[in-house]
Amino acid sequence: MSAIEGDDVARLWFVGANPWLNEDTAVTAIREGRFRQVRDAVQALMDDSFGG
């Protein structure tokens, strides 16, 4: 992600509310074992596919 969006965006993505993760943070989702959902959220960001 940082290669495409930059280091700052990648860092913020992990700790910010995420619409693809039901407004949870990526850190929370990872801690809860929701790896597939986190992977999909990363892909959505890289694809710019959130329609919000």
d(CA 24, CA 7): 20
Q: What Rg, from alpha-carbon coordinates, does the chain have?
A: 10
Domain count across the chain: 1
Residue 18 has pLDDT above 90, yes or no: yes
Does residue 52 lie within any of the structural domains? Answer: no
pLDDT range class, residue 2, cuts 50, 70, 90: confident
pLDDT at position 10, please? 87
- Tell me the CB-side half-sphere exposure of residue 7, using CA atoms within 13 A: 0
Domain holding 14, by residue range, is: 2-47
Q: Measuring CA to CA, how many Å separate 30 from each of 12, 34, 36, 39?
A: 15, 6, 9, 10
Residue 24, domain member (yes or no) = yes
User: If you average pLDDT over residues 19-46, what whole number do you get?
Assistant: 95
Examine residue 35 and state whether it is found in any structural domain, yes or no: yes
Say what the pLDDT of residue 30 is: 98
Q: Name the maximum alpha-carbon separation found in the chain.
A: 26
Please report the pLDDT score of residue 5 as a whole number: 79
Percent of residues, the chain, with pLDDT higher than 90: 67
| pTM beyond 0.85 | no
Residue 28 lies in a domain: yes
